[in-house]
Amino acid sequence: MAGWLLVWEMAATRRWISPLFFPAPTTILRTLLAYSASGKLVADLAATLGRLLMGLMLGGSMGMLLGLLMGGSPRLRRLVDPLVAAMHPIPKISLLPLVLIIFGLGESSRVVLVAVASFFPTVINTMTGVQQIPPIYYEVAANYQASPLTVFRRIIIPGSLPMILAGWRIALNTALVITIAVELITAREGLGAAIWLAWQTLRTEHFYAALLVIAVLGLGSNGLLHLLSAWLIPWQRQDHST
């Protein structure tokens, strides 16, 4: 990695490649420091993170709730599943105009679109997670006269949890894509907006600085979710399998 950065640095400073397209890593780093010192980085990061988390929580929790209901009720599944299946393949960014018409040009439109994008992976994964719980576990519960609440809390939730968390992971990454895309198009602040501003003013080093922050954001949030998964589903650690 360090070797590649060194080659890039040399290639840019000796103008083997155009520094307009590929500014030297040191230039990007300097820009990033200035970006951070001006307070603009924190403001952009806060705006992006706020939209990402609000949309993800809103859409993800609604998706999880509906997924649990659909997993548990074949009747509801027959009713709603065709609708979900039809809408899921639509690239969610293409719904932006519709969302803008309904929710206006403000912040709520951005959050709603992120929520819509987060909704589908969680509803589908949660539903599948509930459906794939082997029937024998319900027999064990009936065998010991477990109440419906006990079945829900101690069988349905933990039994589908690995799939639910996989759904949240997909939702997180989709939400990040949609957040940045929406910011490119409509926002004044946020990392996506910073990228767009960099393009319009042809300051590629600003573009790379914002891109770096987005990459770290994506890596960091995935890492956190990974830790959360390991903590929530300790029985899936494969370290002492017999």
Partner 1 sequence: MSGFSCQRLSKTFFAHNAVVPALESIDFRVEARSFVCIVGPSGCGKSTLLRLIAGLLPPTSGCVCFDREASQDKPRTALVFQEHGLFPWMTVLDNVAFALVGQRQGRREGRRLAQAQLERVGLAGFAHSYPHQLSGGMRQRVGVARALLANPDILLMDEPFGSVDAQTRLVLQEELLNLWREQQKTVVYVTHDIAEAILLGDRVLVMSGRPGRILADIAVPLARPRMLTAVDSPEIKDIKWRIWNMLESEVRANLGTSSAPFS
Largest CA distance in the chain: 77
* Best CA proximity match to 99, nearest among 119, 82, 121: 119
Task: Give least dist CB 143 to partner 1, A.
Answer: 5
Angle between helices 107-131 and 74-87 (to 10 degrees): 130
Task: Please choose, out of 97-105, 157-165, 201-209, 210-218, the segment that lies near partner 1 by the rule CB under 8 A.
Answer: 157-165
Sequence-distant (≥ 6) Cβ neighbours of residue 70 within 8 angstroms: 76, 77, 80, 81, 123, 126, 127, 130
Task: Please choose, out of 22-30, 43-51, 136-144, 205-213, the segment that lies near partner 1 by the rule CB under 8 A.
Answer: 136-144
Report whether 79 contacts 66 (CB < 8 A): no
Query: Could you say whether residue 142 binds partner 1 (CB under 8 A)?
Result: yes
- Residue of 107, 158, 173, 185 interacting with partner 1 (CB under 8 A): 158
Task: Give least dist CB 64 to partner 1, A.
Answer: 17
Query: Could you say whether residue 200 binds partner 1 (CB under 8 A)?
Result: no
Whole-Å CA distances, 126 to 25, 117, 130, 168, 175? 43, 15, 6, 9, 17
- Residue of 140, 216, 219, 227 interacting with partner 1 (CB under 8 A): 140
Query: Could you say whether residue 50 binds partner 1 (CB under 8 A)?
Result: no
State the amino acid at position 114 in one-letter form.
V
- Number of other CB atoms surrounding residue 46 within 10 Å: 12
Query: Could you say whether residue 231 binds partner 1 (CB under 8 A)?
Result: no
Query: Could you say whether residue 166 binds partner 1 (CB under 8 A)?
Result: no
Task: Give least dist CB 234 to partner 1, A.
Answer: 7
Choose between 91 and 148: whose C-beta lies nearer to partner 1.
Answer: 148
Query: Could you say whether residue 15 binds partner 1 (CB under 8 A)?
Result: no
Choose between 132 and 201: whose C-beta lies nearer to partner 1.
Answer: 132
* Best CA proximity match to 57, nearest among 111, 127, 3: 111
Contacts to partner 1 by CB under 8 A: 134, 136-137, 139-147, 150, 154-155, 158-159, 161, 233-235, 240-242
